[in-house]
Structure 1
Amino acid sequence: MVVTKYKEVKLKRSINEHRLTGQRNKHNKDPFPIYTVIDKQCKQNREGDPCFEISPHEAGYSLIGAFVETSSFGSQFYNGRKIKDQPEIDMLYLQGNTLCHRRVYSYFCDISLHLLFVQFVFSSTDPNSPPVGKCSQVLMDLVDMNLSVLNGIDPFDLHESIRTNLNELTGGKDQHIFQVEKLNLADKEAAQLHMRKYTLDICALLSVSFSFWPFDICFSICRCAVLWIWGRKYDFLQNMTDKTVPRALLESETRDYIDAGVLQNSPYFSVLREERDIDLIISLDFSDGDPFMTVREAAETCRKRKIPFPEVNIPDKDVKKPKDFYVFKGKNTPTVIHIPLFNVVNCGDDIDSWRYKYMTFSGPYNAEKISKLMEVAGRNISNNRAKLLKHIRAAIGQKHNKQHCD
């Protein structure tokens, strides 16, 4: 089983309206697709099972084992009975939702382009015309603040710029709602929640005191981007009485599903379900920062939940200069092969520059960047082809022997 996270590297030129259930019988040779998201409320409240998976057959919570047929995911259920049928989601929606944080980044970039266009077309020297320049600057600073927080950069200077321009736009009114301390960027979740409220407050103030249709579009996009309601679906477990399911999942009408990378950048837990009886996991990791964070966190979570997983020990020197192939084994556990995207074999001494060039939050890649990335990633497979085949054959042999003994 290969574990990696779907990553968008180019703009789609057509709308994919196919349904995931249509792929049920198309995987004799192709990999079996499992899309993963996380339950936002479970993560924030630290209760229940945040790991949610969607395959051609079923959709549901990986760790507690609560599922519904994929064709019914999104329909409304009450006590296990479908009361409102909804069409099955298409691939465009599914892939978009699993990339939500990159989508948020893209939306903010789109706002910036829209604002530049508005500023160019509608700016005027007429003193009675709308103050397009200052309002544009506030919104562009607001966009940059959100992007800074997503990238872990202190946005305080942008906040000061917003305050100055708002003071001129509103005559000093309602400034008290923006008297905020510097963000604690170490707590990413709290910082992003703060920016969501901050963004909504700014948009609310501007929409009341400054009505101009091009900016109304920007206000709407900002609200949608920070609230992210596209991942909201009916809770198919509502009002059921199963004691093995956390109460929160039984009481809510809807759940919000967001990018799985917010919790775990590699979807280990969807393949570690007991029913899948996995013998070998090949982890193609492209996390920003520590290239071993995902496998370490997976091992720790498995230890707490008593899920079979090998012990993970990484030499300290390998964190900054990882090799291109790691194997973790244990007794009665799957074998885990871990391959960091950028490593000393395919990048030499330029690992940091490669990481910077392909950081998590960045604009769309052009053809040249895509080609270079594919070349570097491809070397991880071609350079280790013999070792991969060796471990795959060993896993097949162990499976055969186990079945023969049983």
Structure 2
Amino acid sequence: MSASKLQESSEVRIAHSLHTDEEEFVARRRETVFQSLQKLKIHCSQDAVPNIALLGSGGGQRAMVGLLGSLVQLDKEGLLDCILYLSGVSGSTWCMASLYQEPDWSTKLETVKDKIIERLSGPAVSWGDAFDKLKKYYKKDFFSLTDVWAAMAITEYVKEIDEVTLRDQWDHLSKDPFPIYTVIDTQSKKEKEKGGDKDDPWFEISPVEAGYSLTGAFVETSSFGSKFDRGSKKNPQDEMDMLYLQALCGSALADRSEIFKYLWQKIKDLFKNLTPLIESDTFEEMMKEPKAPPAYKCYQVLIDLVEVNLAVLNGKDYSALVQTIKTTLEELGGGTNHLIIPGEKTLAEKQAANFDVKKFTEHVLKDLSCLFSSDSFDLVWSICKCLTWWIWGRNYNFLHKMKNEAVPAALLEGETRDYEDAGLLLNSPYFSVLRKERNIDLIISLDFSDGDPFKTVNTTQKLCEELKIPFPGVNRARENPKNPEGFYVFKGTNTPTVIHIPLFNVVNCGGNIAAWRNRYATFQGPYNLKMITDLMEVAGKNISDNREKLLEQIQAVIDQKRHEL
């Protein structure tokens, strides 16, 4: 059955072909690429126009600013209009979201760049606005840490609440590269890490559809997150906005422990800012009153519960806080017999006994839910629950109860699926552009990763070998992770050519690579104006220094295509 027939017969599309809207857009974009090559004095017939994909890896704000600097320089060198696809992971998607706010951004990039820099170096989103956005997210069928991360963390970096949707962007997308945002399916990731080979964790989100890249199972992007049953939409949900998408794509900025501490601290800050909203002028004074309203005592239990979690994470004594929680719950009439209370032991003994803070938190939340309820309280209670159970990116499963042998059985079972930052499995969106039907000839990989700058390309080669996907070999003997060169080319037989460009290298950083890496850590506060402009400059040098090499490789893939025609 043709792709168009499949699209007409079901709201879920099971096919490896491209969506017809993407096919039509790419055909128009290839004309732009053709005209760009003519301007660059590269001789090419329209049949031999190369399909070039630009990849932006993860790396938090470093990736966001690095990708912006790279794109600005590509534009200055006359190379930007050679790009057919722009795909990102994690922090690179933050840059993409900012760019695609502007219709035809690639035709006025200098102006768009100035607006983005002004915003990033400007004031933060107010706490009140962030909290109001969080309350909106809480009204959805599923609320997770991704919503918290969007309102409380992403807004700190991008300095805005972007409520535009991908569908909105699609309506004015005409002269820019086709964008693809990438995440992974959490459950499939876990199975893959156990050695499973039948699950597909690679999930892509474009302006037209969202779905599993390798399986070929998609739904209209405007319907992603809605409830489906056997391929039919049963309970429509509002389309996710760009703030949520940036959180979905970019939440792996640090290890789990650091994110845990960060979010518990955010909840603590949330309580501090909620104080004026809780019926009293001075929350602390009311807490001292012997006949304080139960609401205040319930909030105090939550505050103490946050402090317990922070104490455990930081290796501090939490026994007094635990006892206070128990006492307060008893005063409120809660059932505390099941609470796991540590005895009179030293801190070292308590740690050795492995006090289960997760179970303790679950039990306290259960008691509180029976004692008190209000909109703000329920929201904070839900945040604590999501943190305890570590729930990220939960959405309805659009493949639920479908019957199709082409789809891994595990993807058809659950009513929900969880999605998270693809950097947790592979910190570059290779599998979005390695789909056979996209026919990519040249991949330009901009690597903004922390640590080993070759990990993404090495991991991709290994995974492609397992999946029998054409990918060039990587000459590991030439690699020096601590002092990489600024430009690598990997070629193979019947594979796309891969250009790999590490952000910090011996060419643009000289002997100061370590200093640059230390200055731009992944999980740190928002950059100031000087940090932004310095990083954009060093990222831009990777393009300007290698302009002739890029042209050479573009010509090489054209010659190869011409030979194959």
Q: Where on the TM-score scale, by shorter chain, does this alignment land: which range?
A: 0.7 to 0.9
Cα deviation digits, residues 186-213 of structure 1 (max 9, x gap): xxxxxxxx999368448639959x9999
Tell me the equivalent position of 2:506.
Answer: 344
1:17 pairs with 155, 164, 171, which one? 164
Note if 1:379 corresponds to 2:541. Answer: yes
Tell me the equivalent position of 1:43.
Answer: 189
Amino acid at match of 1:81: S
Cα distance in 2 for residues equivalent to 1:338 and 1:311: 13
Gaps of 5+ in 2: 1-52, 57-88, 95-119, 121-156, 276-281, 328-335, 344-348
Are the equivalent residues in 2 in contact too, given 1:19–1:90 (CA < 8 A)? yes
Larger RCO (alpha carbons 8 Å, 6+ apart)? 2
Cα deviation digits, residues 8-51 of structure 1 (max 9, x gap): 464333433233364266243x2211011111111123351001
Tell me the equivalent position of 1:55.
Answer: 206
For normalisation by structure 1, the TM-score amounts to 0.78
Tell me the equivalent position of 1:26.
Answer: 173
Are the equivalent residues in 2 in contact too, given 1:53–1:270 (CA < 8 A)? yes
Shift in CA distance, 167/355, structure 1 to aligned 2, threshold 3 Å: farther
Cα distance in 2 for residues equivalent to 1:134 and 1:366: 38
1:240 pairs with 376, 388, 402, which one? 402
Bigger CA drift: 220-229 or 368-377? 220-229
Cα distance in 1 for residues equivalent to 2:465 and 2:265: 41
Correspondence list, 1:119-268, <5 A: 139=306, 142-143=309-310, 155=313, 158-163=314-319, 165-167=321-323, 170=326, 174-176=340-342, 197=358, 200-201=361-362, 204=365, 220-225=382-387, 227=389, 229=391, 231-268=393-430
For normalisation by structure 2, the TM-score amounts to 0.58
SS in 1 for 2:219: strand
Are the equivalent residues in 1 in contact too, given 2:441–2:496 (CA < 8 A)? yes
Cα deviation digits, residues 220-255 of structure 1 (max 9, x gap): 444344556562222222222221211111111111
Greater Rg over alpha carbons, structure: 2
Note if 1:311 corresponds to 2:443. Answer: no
SS in 2 for 1:17: coil
Are the equivalent residues in 1 in contact too, given 2:208–2:221 (CA < 8 A)? yes
Cα distance in 1 for residues equivalent to 2:481 and 2:356: 31
Are the equivalent residues in 2 in contact too, given 1:284–1:338 (CA < 8 A)? yes
Cα distance in 2 for residues equivalent to 1:358 and 1:226: 30
SS in 1 for 2:458: helix
Tell me the equivalent position of 1:190.
Answer: none
Are the equivalent residues in 1 in contact too, given 2:90–2:422 (CA < 8 A)? no
Shift in CA distance, 389/181, structure 1 to aligned 2, threshold 3 Å: farther
Shift of 1:286: 1.4
Cα distance in 1 for residues equivalent to 2:236 and 2:325: 48
SS in 1 for 2:317: helix
Bigger CA drift: 306-315 or 384-393? 384-393
SS in 2 for 1:304: helix
Shift in CA distance, 87/169, structure 1 to aligned 2, threshold 3 Å: closer
Amino acid at match of 2:267: I
Cα distance in 2 for residues equivalent to 1:14 and 1:118: 20
Cα deviation digits, residues 334-389 of structure 1 (max 9, x gap): 11111111222222333223223322222333333222222222222222222122
Are the equivalent residues in 2 in contact too, given 1:21–1:57 (CA < 8 A)? no
Shift of 1:284: 0.8
Are the equivalent residues in 1 in contact too, given 2:249–2:422 (CA < 8 A)? yes
Cα distance in 1 for residues equivalent to 2:484 and 2:364: 44
Bigger CA drift: 256-265 or 168-177? 168-177
SS in 1 for 2:499: strand
CA RMSD of aligned residues (A): 4.0
Tell me the equivalent position of 1:298.
Answer: 460
Are the equivalent residues in 2 in contact too, given 1:281–1:337 (CA < 8 A)? yes
Cα distance in 1 for residues equivalent to 2:381 and 2:301: 15
2:497 pairs with 317, 335, 352, which one? 335
SS in 2 for 1:161: coil
2:435 pairs with 264, 269, 273, which one? 273
Cα distance in 2 for residues equivalent to 1:87 and 1:135: 31
Are the equivalent residues in 2 in contact too, given 1:42–1:50 (CA < 8 A)? yes
2:519 pairs with 346, 357, 382, which one? 357
Cα distance in 2 for residues equivalent to 1:100 and 1:27: 30
SS in 1 for 2:446: strand
SS in 2 for 1:241: coil
Shift in CA distance, 242/204, structure 1 to aligned 2, threshold 3 Å: same
Cα deviation digits, residues 290-311 of structure 1 (max 9, x gap): 1111111100000000000011
Amino acid at match of 1:70: T
Cα distance in 2 for residues equivalent to 1:352 and 1:203: 46
Correspondence list, 1:53-92, <5 A: 53-92=204-243
Cα distance in 2 for residues equivalent to 1:61 and 1:114: 36
SS in 2 for 1:310: coil
Are the equivalent residues in 2 in contact too, given 1:203–1:219 (CA < 8 A)? no
Shift in CA distance, 280/221, structure 1 to aligned 2, threshold 3 Å: same
Cα distance in 1 for residues equivalent to 2:359 and 2:522: 23
Cα distance in 2 for residues equivalent to 1:137 and 1:212: 18
Are the equivalent residues in 1 in contact too, given 2:183–2:422 (CA < 8 A)? yes
Cα distance in 2 for residues equivalent to 1:286 and 1:205: 43
